[in-house]
Structure 1
Amino acid sequence: MELNRSKIVDENFKRRVLANDFPIPHSQTTPEQAGLDKNTYFELFDSQLVSRHLDLLARILREQQQGFYTIGSAGHEGNAAIAKAFRKTDISFLHYRSGAFVIQRAKYEPQIDMMYDQVLSLVASSEDPISGGRHKVLGSVPLYIPPQTSTIASHLPKALGCALSITLAKALKRDETQSTLPNDSVVLCSFGDASFNHSTAQGALNAATWIQQAQLPLSLLWICEDNGIGISVPTPAQWIQDKVSHQDIHYIACDGRNIADVYLAAKQAEVLARKKGQVVFLHFKTVRLLGHAGSDIEFQYHTLVEIEKAESDDPLLHTARVIIENQWLTPLEVIEAYENVRKALAERANLALKRPKLASKEAVMASIVPPKQNMNEFLSKDYIPPTSLLNMAQAINAALAEILLQYPQTLVFGEDVAKKGGVYHVTADLQARFGKIRVFDTLLDEQTILGCAIGLAHNGFIPIPEIQFLAYTHNAADQIRGEAATLSFFSNGQYTNPMVIRIAGLAYQKGFGGHFHNDNAIGFLREIPGLIIACPSTAKDAALMLKQCVKLAQAEQRVVVFLEPIALYMLKDYHAKGDNLALCHYPKQEEIFFGEIGLEGDIKSKRAIISYGNGMLLARQAAHILERNYQMTIKLIDCRWLAPLPVAALQTALSEIEEIIIVDECRQTGSLSEQLVTWIVENISPLPAIKRICAQDTFIPIGNAWQTILPNCQDIVETVLQLDSMKRSF
């Protein structure tokens, strides 16, 4: 039994073409019926051949330990016809089996040698023009193809968001120079039949229907490339059709093995999507050849009969049959064309193997942080702030109003943010002031909310999505980790998705709602490379830091999380009822820069408390007690920026400190305090005495029991006194 199916598929094509032994067609659409002339048909066939030989070459390079990726497009080469049916500027979020699509689209730009570019990617050369050797991805800036690194449905929400961005750009009458995409663009998004079943896909499909129910146009084409198998799990024969065709969506099926049928269906879909602004579902039926990837032993789950049945239905054989039946080429000429592509790729492989690879950690990490842009930070429109004292919720509301006024490309959206003004009224009255296009409600699906933000950013917007509670982010973390934060890294800084994600969270809500509304776990965010996390502890800081976060998104193209401590939203007093120390006047002219920490108390003291968020409130209260009752002064350090850690500012602030207490409202395990302690031990000399006060490693209960597991003011006072006593005993 021959395990090397790539060799068999290769030999079968040549043997069967020469023998005029072709599979029976599954559809009868002819090139003439589809509007494809001889030259265009040849062009598509060439793209199919290049895609196939790239798959064959990938297996060879892997066997030689010179290539690193073998998931190919064999069986899906008919998607070249979809690329031909649409414009170059129709942004495309592609399935990893879309090799022929990319090859075909590259023909819009003759200066691009996509054959060579793909070989550079296969061998992980640092000269790969899309990822710089960081991954084998299908992507190109001039071809409007953002790279997707896995596409197990995680790219569908951002495709939806990108389509929505075109709708909003039209509604706002934005000049096309302000957008990345023309206002008559269509967004294409391809995925497999197995990915269709993922909750992320279902959420995006549902959200698209939900948006259209609101009478909003969406120029969006879903392309389900159905080969009947998800790695080893079969998809029932009518599963996709049965699940989609009865929905309120345009369903068009085509035979992926017949490029004329694919082209005809794609042109029908284009009219509906581009001209009528309707969502279309293109069901592309085909076969999968060569298994899932080079490491996939297909005999473990398919019989030889099943494997050979798929191989006998090779789409390249279907295309060759049409060419020969129309007497456009002889069988020998078809084989000559096939072998010419192999030869051309081999020449490019010889060149690509000699090109440089990533050779240092600095080179690998160079694209984690996007490149800065030279852009105006603020426009000239005047903002008239409130004159009254503001709590944190009101200060954030005022800052959002100023941001929406000064940055016309900003959008505020999320669950309940519009008429209701959010659960805590942080976004109150913003929709009434700025309209339903710039401040709008979404359906309850955090994956869709965050994914749409990514898609909106692809078209020149600065999204400011709200996640209602921190715990709600956990089920959508991949949209931040696997999509938003990776885009710059895997595109070598060429693609970015700047945004500010507002998340209400952290603890100290006095037992309300239990762990789901008092979530103090932020480690899942802190570990994401390139992500900025800001967390204010005062109303004034909240306004200034939020404005700084938007500047970071605009000028530095960063993905920023703005973590808002719910327990501080309505806070008025620090030490006694009526002291109003937690309130502020709106700070219009001041600024807090990225990496700038907050210093309070006795800045010359040899002892320091480091904290953030709610912990800073406790630290201020403890410092007040210690000074009043024990005549002890303390330097208070507010980190403000939880990722990346503001090490330069901390280095200066801790240079002469002898005692450090770290107050961290998050759990002992996985908290910021662990990183702080490690950094202090490695970087501060002489080493100060260090104590941590953290939450316990548990979820937060409802009722008053929360007080037993979270840090409190008395804990801080006692720890300071203990350290002082130890110091005196020496």
Structure 2
Amino acid sequence: MDRATIVHENFLRRVAQGDLPPGAEPHGPLGREAAVQLYRSGCLTRALDIVSRRMQAAGEGFYTIGSSGHEGMAAVAAALRPTDMAFLHYRDAAFQIERANQVPGQSILWDMLLSFACSREDPISGGRHKVLGSKALNIPPQTSTIASHLPKAVGAAYSVGLTKRVKPEHQALPDDAIVMCSFGDASANHSTAQGAINSSCWTAFQKIPMPVLWVCEDNGIGISTRTPSGWIAANFAHRPGLGYFACDGLDIYDTYATARAAAEFVRTRRKPAFLHLRTVRLYGHAGADMPTTYMAKHEVEAEEANDPLLHSVRLLGEAGALEREEALAIYQETLERVERVRAEAVTRPRLKTASEVMASLIPPKRENAPSNGPSAEAREAAFGAELKAMESPQIMSRLINWALTDLMLEHREIALMGEDVCAKGGVYGVTQKLGQRFGRARVIDTLLDEQSILGLGLGMAQNGFLPIPEIQFLAYYHNAEDQIRGEGATLPFFSNGQYSNPMVLRIAGLGYQKGFGGHFHNDNSFAALRDVPGVILCCPSNGADAAKLLRECVRLAREEQRLVVFLEPIALYPMRDLHEPGDALWLRHYPEPSERIGFGEVTSHGDGRDLAIVSYANGLHLSLQAQKRLAGEGIAVRVIDLHWLNPLPEEALLEALGDAERVLVVDETRRTGGLAEALMTLLTERTGKPQARYVAEDSFIPTGPAYAATMPSVDGIVEAARALAGGKA
């Protein structure tokens, strides 16, 4: 027999015989009726685990990672309010089941079986995953999380305090809410978990409200790797700024009392707490995992003998709440009911086509209050003497600063966050004075951890804010890219569009820095961003376009709930000249706050028919220089600025190519995995024009005089254009 059957039959036999494991007497505030309800939730959790395995064996279900052994999480749910947002560990079916009892109109058994069956009628994921989550229950969906959900719990908790000072348009959580985030003992060792918990303590240590309850479900093992005995307590019991509470997760009375105390600590003190819940893991890790292949049989049997449902039967009997015979009848009736409902759930339709699967990659638009832009009075108060400076052309970094100012004046829910963005104004001064203009509540200096920065943004977006986090350099994004790929971009997909993570992520990047560089500060690869479904990537080439594009990025996030990355070319921040030193042709006037470059639009410079050069950012700056030189040789060139690097503005680009006879792609990313690969494919499939590409080498970028040696140059563009134009030259 498999372990699930063994545990099931052991339960039936031991309850019937009164052979129940010993333990503490029932204590605390849990009443009889509520205790029986927790037991019912535990029985439903167990029955669903049993039936999900039967479904998989019959080809009716597709993923089994059970919650058996963690039924005590029902008591944690009972200790919280349904308005407390919960980011759940994948073993927390009991929490979701019990929370459903707190919210009228729920059909939790039907809903979860639809999820097991991957039915497109599944109310949370629409058939895309067996996933815990519910919009009605305030549980954003999580899949096979290994701590990646912890950073956004910090952000959501931070947002609760911030709403008392800044009211967002779409506030989701009440002012007295707390945020619960659960995970396993193995995940607690992950750098993401350590960073998130440290971030919550770091914040609380500064007396900033941080109402987050960390719940560690410690079953002592991660797949096959043991957690050293006492490790979790030693690691978390004495952290500065972190309340520590421990309980026996096999005991619903102890768990409920301790969870209530922990929740009260967080709710009243607005500080983080760590609830250490000692549990067992039944059936092994997931699916076909056999614990007896890496654990001694007596160890597996010892865990099974400690079945929390057996403990609950004993405790309920001692409390006079439920007799053994009644407890056994509830268990058997629950299993029979789940089997009956299963028979219907497996007949419900599933996703079939690519379009059906992809329907939720892009979240739905949402209603927003109309805005006429910032008032003249607000702008005068914010800009002061800088209004006069707007009469003169400026460098890109300053125009981005002004655009951010106008956007923050217009939309109170915008908050900036990142390393050094407030007091210092960023590495390159792009966010200077924003802290003075809007305060530290909306311009947040974070600790030095990219996962925490992105998690702060993702979590704040769950409570109605429009975050604009900053990553100092493109290479640093790789420290935290799973926050975008594994959390932000997948949220609408796995929630069937019910949840989203609208934000504008600003990243300074690309190459050509002369005095400050090397591969950490000059990084010319953004393939990890273009590879994530649903993410928009935008990149300006000059200051005026940067302001107009940034406004469109904010509109996309605010109105269309999109996750947008705004990639700012560092080398062009201070650029003043184009063709000759001192010509000031790269400076731009600040566009009026209403001006935007729309999503998917491109910009053409010139209308030459001999050759079209397609580029962006630094490549555009170089291509315009090449355009002038080529004109002197009789080659008429138009230069097209893409602006949008993911998804590519295909139709606008093809229209802009028009009657140009040839196409040269100038791409500052690398030959392998670079943007040019996609552009050349598009041109091959959609046009018959002769084409070529001129790209960066497959190399990291060095510091020093050779900073641009591996990158496209003006001379190289001219040479490539001549070769492509052939006899015309």
Q: What's the TM-score once normalised by structure 2's chain length?
A: 0.97
> Cα distance, 1:217 vs. partner?
1.7
Alignment partner of 1:322 out of 268, 291, 315:
315
8 Å contact kept, 1:531–1:643: yes
Q: Deviations over 1:364-398 (max 9, x none)?
A: 00000110112245344323553332110000000
Displacement of 1:727: 6.4
Provide Cα deviations, 1:49-99, integer angstroms capped at 9, x if missing partner: 000111111111111111111101010000000100110010000000000
- Give the 3 Å change call, closer, same or farther, for CA 131–726 of structure 1 in structure 2: farther
- Structure 1 CA distance, aligned partners of 2:714 and 2:234? 60
**Aligned residues, how many?**
716
Amino acid at match of 2:725: D
Match of residue 369 from structure 1 = 362
* Aligned partners of 1:187 and 1:219 also within 8 Å: yes
What's 1:104 paired with?
A: 98
| CA apart distance, 1:643 | 0.4
Task: Write the distance in 1 (CA, Å) between the matches of 2:530 and 2:462.
Answer: 24
Q: What is the match of residue 640 of structure 1?
A: 643
**3-state SS of 2:129 partner:** coil
Q: Give the alignment of 1:512-551 within 5 angstroms.
A: 512-551=516-555
Q: What is residue 191 of structure 1 aligned with on the other side?
A: 183
Match of 1:454 among 441, 444, 458: 458
Deviation at 1:171, TM superposition (A): 2.8
Task: Note the C-alpha offset of 1:149.
Answer: 1.4
Structure 1 portions without partners, runs of 5+: none
Distance, in Å, in 1 between the alignment partners of 2:117 and 2:604 is 50
CA contact (8 A) 2:417 2:457 kept: no
Determine helix, strand or coil for the equivalent of 2:501.
Answer: coil
Instruction: Report the 3-state secondary structure (helix = DSSP H, G, I; strand = E; otherwise coil) of the residue aligned with 1:189.
Output: strand
Partner SS for 1:697: coil
CA distance in 2, matches of 1:669, 1:376: 45
Matched, 1:601 2:593: no
Match of 1:679 among 678, 682, 687: 682
In the alignment, residue 62 of structure 2 is paired with which amino acid?
Answer: F
Shift of 1:634: 0.7
Query: Is the CA contact 2:504–2:563 (under 8 Å) kept in the aligned structure 1?
Result: yes
What is the identity, as a one-letter code, of the residue corresponding to 1:160?
A: V
Matches of 1:183 and 1:389 in 2, distance apart? Answer: 45
The correspondence for 1:272, drawn from 265, 270, 274, is 265
Is the contact between residue 420 and residue 428 of structure 1 (CA under 8 Å) also seen in structure 2?
yes
Alignment correspondent of 1:717: 718
Partner of residue 113 from structure 2, selected from 101, 113, 119: 119
Aligned-residue sequence identity (percent) comes to 49
Taking the aligned partners of 2:255 and 2:634, their CA distance within structure 1 comes to: 81
Q: Which residue of 2 aligns with 1:228?
A: 220
Q: Distance in 2 between matches of 1:377 and 1:719?
A: 49
> Residue 155 of structure 2 contacts residue 455 of structure 2 at CA under 8 Å; is this kept in 1?
yes
User: Hey, what does 1:356 align to over in structure 2?
Assistant: 349
Structure 2 gaps of 5+ residues are: 381-386
1:122·1:136 contact (CA, 8 Å) conserved in 2?
Answer: yes
User: Given residue 196 of structure 1, which amino acid in structure 2 is its aligned partner?
Assistant: A
Q: Look up the SS of the partner of 2:84 in the other structure.
A: coil
The yes-or-no answer on 1:339 pairing with 2:332 is yes
The counterpart of 1:439, out of the listed 434, 439, 443, is 443
Residue 726 of structure 1 and its aligned partner are, at CA, apart by 5.2
Aligned to 2:703: 702
Say which is worse superposed, 705-714 or 364-373, in terms of deviation.
705-714
Match of 2:486 in 1: 482
Task: Give the stretch that moved more between structures: 465-474 or 605-614.
Answer: 605-614
**Which of 610, 615, 620 does residue 619 from structure 2 map onto?**
615
> Which residue of the partner structure matches residue 391 of structure 2?
387
Distance 2:66 2:5 in 1: 14
Partner of 2:21: 23
User: SS state of the match for residue 317, structure 1?
Assistant: helix
What amino acid maps onto 1:251 in structure 2? Y
**Structure 2 residue matching 1:267: 3-state secondary structure:** helix
Q: Does 1:8 align with 2:1?
A: no
Identify which of 239, 243, 246 aligns with 2:238: 246
124, 128, 148: which is aligned to 1:134? Answer: 128
SS of equivalent to 2:666: strand
Structure 2 match to 1:690:
691
Amino acid at match of 2:416: V
Does the 8 Å contact 1:511/1:701 carry over to 2?
no
Q: Tell me which amino acid in the other structure corresponds to 1:287.
A: V
User: 2:507–2:565: 8 Å Cα contact kept in structure 1?
Assistant: yes
Matched position secondary structure for 2:705: helix
Paired residue for 2:71, among 77, 81, 84?
Answer: 77
1:682, distance to aligned residue in structure 2 (A):
1.3
Counterpart secondary structure, 1:184: coil
The answer (yes or no) to whether the contact 1:379–1:407 under 8 Å persists in 2 is no
SS of 1:537's partner is coil
Equivalent residues in 2 for 1:23-172 (5 A)? 23-25=21-23, 27-28=24-25, 30=26, 33-172=27-166
Distance in 2 between residues matched to 1:587 and 1:295, nearest whole Å: 61
C-alpha displacement at 1:558, in angstroms?
0.4
The letter for the 2-side match of 1:207 is S
Where does residue 249 of structure 2 map in the other structure?
A: 256
CA distance in 1 between counterparts of 2:528 and 2:373 reads 39
Match of 1:210 in 2: 202
Q: After TM superposition, give the deviation of residue 570 of structure 1 in Å.
A: 0.2
Distance 1:377 1:623, change over 3 A: farther
Offset of residue 143 of structure 1: 0.5
What is the distance in 2 between the residues matched to 1:8 and 1:480?
41
> Stretches of 4+ moved more than 4 A in 1?
none
Matched, 1:581 2:585: yes
1:153-199 Cα shifts (integer Å, max 9, x gaps): 00000000000000111133x27x74110010010000000000000
